[in-house]
C-alpha cells in the first residue's frame, strides 16, 4: 500500500473509535498497521444493528478499520506479552487508548517500551486526560460530549443534544494523527522516540473556537441556538415551499448579493449590519421565509447559486453517498471483504496531486493475519541477528592497522 508513510509500522492496541480512527488514517497514508486484538476482538465487532451478511459483520467495526492487519494476542499470557515485545522492537509507532495505568499493569509502561525501542513513538488517547483529578475516568464519546460542553450548544434552544456523529472520538483521532506525524518528523532530527498524548476532552475543548471565547473573553455563556449562528444572520436553515435549505450570509458583500434575491433592500436600516441582523433575527427570518415559500428548494438553490450566495440542500446520509460530488472526491471506496464480497466504505478525506487512486483493503477478520505477522516477526528477528553478527565480525580500526 504505497503512500507518504510507506515503511512506517504501527502497532495498534486501540479499540472502539478514537484510536482505530487514528490508525485507519495513518494506514490510508501508507503505514502498515497491525491491529492487536484480545481473543474476543475489538468490542465494536459486536456492535449493531445493523449487521451485514450471514456472519453478522458489524458495519460499525467496518467504518474505522480498513487497510489494517489483525493479530490476536492475550496480553495477560506469556506468549502474548513476548509477541508484543517483538512487535514493539520492530515498530515505529504504538497506539493505545486504554484508561491511564492499564498499559503499565500489563507490563508495558512507557519506560519499558522505550527500553525495547528507543525510537518508538507512543500515541496515547484517553477520555479525560492522563492526569488531573478526573484523569482516570472512562470516556465514551457521548459522555464527553456532555461533559465538554458540546451538548449545551447543540440542538433546539433549551434542549441539550448530542451531535449525530462520534465527534469527540473523531476530533481526538485527528489530533492524535497530527501528533504522530510531528513526532515522526522530530525523530528524523533527534533519532529518539516520543510520547504523544491527547484526550476526547482536550480535543473537544480545543475545538470550541468562538464558543469558547464567548465565555473566556466576553464572559457570555453560550446556549444552543438550533441551526442558527449565534453571531451571524441570516445563517442557518430556512423553509422553502417544499422543505428547508441552508443559507450562509457571513459578510456584508454576501448580504448585498443576497438581499435583492429575496426582495429585501440591502440598505434597510433594520438589517444594515451583521449586529443589526443578529439583533432582529426572528424578524429577518420571517421576511426571508415569506419569499422562499413561493418556490421550491431546487429553484432557490439555483437562484442563490447564480448570485454567488453560499447555500445548500439538507441531504440524508444515503443521498450523500449517491451524490456525484461525493464520489468524484474519492469519498466512496470499494473493497473485497472475505465474507461480504465487494462492498463500499466511506473513503479517506485526503488526496495527493499526482498520486494514482489507491487500492484499499477491507477491515480484517479477527486474527486474519496471525500467521503472516508472526512470519514477518521471525524474518525481522533473523535480519537483526545477522546484522549483529556482521558488526561483531567486522574488524575494528586497530585490527585494520589504522
Domain ranges across the chain: 9-208+322-368, 235-314
Closest by CA position to 68, among listed 7, 10, 16: 10
Predicted local confidence at residue 5, as pLDDT: 97
Give CB contacts under 8 A, 24+ apart, made by 47-52.
Answer: 52/340, 52/343
CA dist 106 and 116 (Å) reads: 15
Given 42, 141, 169, 287, the catalytic residue: 169
Alpha helix positions (H), 307-353 = 317-322, 324-328
**Strand, helix or coil at 319?**
helix
What letters, b where the CB count within 10 A reaches 16 and e where it falls short, cover 17-54?
bbbbbbbbbbbbbbbbbbbbbbeebbebbeeeeeebee
C-alpha grid cell, residue 172 = 481526538
**Regions of the chain where pLDDT drops below 70:** 1, 392-402
CA dist 362 and 35 (Å) reads: 13
CA dist 186 and 208 (Å) reads: 28
Q: Which residues touch 11 (CB under 8 Å, ≥6 apart)?
A: 34, 36, 84, 87, 88, 91, 93, 94, 95
Predicted local confidence at residue 143, as pLDDT: 97
CA dist 160 and 224 (Å) reads: 7
Predicted local confidence at residue 387, as pLDDT: 75
CATH number of 9-208+322-368: 3.40.50.10540
Give the distance from CA 130 to its chain's centroid. Answer: 20
CA dist 184 and 176 (Å) reads: 12
235-314 belongs to CATH 3.90.1010.10: no
Predicted local confidence at residue 395, as pLDDT: 62
Under a CB-based contact definition with an 8 Å cutoff, are residues 376 and 11 in contact? no
CA dist 379 and 77 (Å) reads: 23
Task: State the chain's maximal CA–CA distance in angstroms.
Answer: 96
CA dist 63 and 86 (Å) reads: 29
Closest by CA position to 339, among listed 59, 24, 16, 38: 59
Predicted local confidence at residue 384, as pLDDT: 85
What is the pTM (predicted TM-score) of this model? Answer: 0.92
Predicted local confidence at residue 357, as pLDDT: 83
Let me know if 169 is a catalytic residue.
yes
Closest by CA position to 129, among listed 167, 101, 151, 107: 101
Under a CB-based contact definition with an 8 Å cutoff, are residues 368 and 69 in contact? yes
CA dist 160 and 248 (Å) reads: 24
Predicted local confidence at residue 402, as pLDDT: 46
Give CB contacts under 8 A, 24+ apart, made by 218-223.
Answer: 222/149, 222/152, 222/153, 223/152, 223/153, 223/157
Under a CB-based contact definition with an 8 Å cutoff, are residues 187 and 193 in contact? yes
Under a CB-based contact definition with an 8 Å cutoff, are residues 30 and 332 in contact? no
Amino acid at each position: 500500500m504505497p503512500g507518504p508513510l510507506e515503511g512506517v509500522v504501527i502497532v495498534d492496541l486501540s479499540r472502539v473509535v478514537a484510536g482505530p480512527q487514528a490508525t485507519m488514517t495513518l494506514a490510508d497514508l501508507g503505514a502498515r498497521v497491525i491491529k492487536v486484538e484480545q481473543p474476543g476482538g475489538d468490542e465494536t465487532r459486536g456492535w449493531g444493528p445493523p449487521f451485514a451478511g450471514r456472519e453478522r459483520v458489524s458495519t460499525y467495526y467496518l467504518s474505522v478499520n480498513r487497510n489494517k492487519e489483525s493479530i490476536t494476542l492475550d496480553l495477560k499470557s506469556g506468549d502474548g506479552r513476548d509477541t508484543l515485545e517483538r512487535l514493539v522492537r520492530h515498530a515505529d509507532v504504538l497506539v493505545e487508548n486504554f484508561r491511564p495505568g492499564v498499559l503499565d499493569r500489563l507490563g508495558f509502561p512507557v519506560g519499558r517500551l522505550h527500553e525495547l525501542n528507543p525510537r518508538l513513538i507512543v500515541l496515547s488517547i484517553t477520555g479525560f486526560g492522563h492526569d488531573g483529578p478526573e484523569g482516570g475516568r472512562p470516556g465514551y464519546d457521548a459522555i464527553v460530549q456532555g461533559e465538554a460542553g458540546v451538548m449545551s450548544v447543540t440542538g433546539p434552544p433549551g434542549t441539550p443534544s448530542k451531535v449525530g456523529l462520534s465527534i469527540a472520538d473523531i476530533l481526538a483521532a485527528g489530533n492524535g494523527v497530527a501528533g504522530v506525524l510531528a513526532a515522526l518528523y522530530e525523530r528524523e532530527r533527534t533519532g529518539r522516540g516520543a510520547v504523544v498524548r491527547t484526550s476526547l476532552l482536550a480535543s473537544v475543548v480545543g475545538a470550541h473556537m468562538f464558543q469558547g471565547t464567548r465565555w473566556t473573553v466576553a464572559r457570555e455563556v453560550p446556549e444552543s441556538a438550533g441551526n442558527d449562528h449565534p453571531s451571524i444572520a441570516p445563517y442557518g436553515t430556512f423553509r422553502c415551499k417544499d422543505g428547508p435549505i441552508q443559507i450562509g450570509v457571513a459578510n456584508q458583500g454576501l448580504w448585498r448579493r443576497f438581499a435583492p434575491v429575496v426582495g429585501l433592500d440591502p440598505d434597510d436600516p433594520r438589517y444594515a449590519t451583521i449586529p443589526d441582523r443578529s439583533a432582529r433575527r426572528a424578524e429577518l427570518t420571517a421576511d426571508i421565509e415569506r419569499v422562499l415559500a413561493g418556490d421550491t428548494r431546487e429553484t432557490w438553490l439555483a437562484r442563490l447559486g447564480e448570485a454567488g450566495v453560499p447555500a445548500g440542500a439538507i441531504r440524508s446520509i444515503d443521498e450523500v453517498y449517491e451524490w456525484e460530488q461525493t464520489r468524484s472526491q474519492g469519498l466512496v471506496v470499494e473493497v473485497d471483504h472475505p465474507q461480504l464480497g465487494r462492498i463500499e466504505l466511506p473513503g479517506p478525506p485526503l488526496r495527493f496531486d499526482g498520486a494514482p487512486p489507491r487500492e484499499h483493503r477491507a477491515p480484517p477478520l479477527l486474527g486474519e493475519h496471525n500467521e503472516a505477522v508472526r512470519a514477518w516477526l521471525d524474518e525481522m528477528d533473523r535480519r537483526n541477528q545477522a546484522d549483529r553478527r556482521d558488526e561483531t565480525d567486522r574488524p575494528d580500526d586497530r585490527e585494520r592497522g589504522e
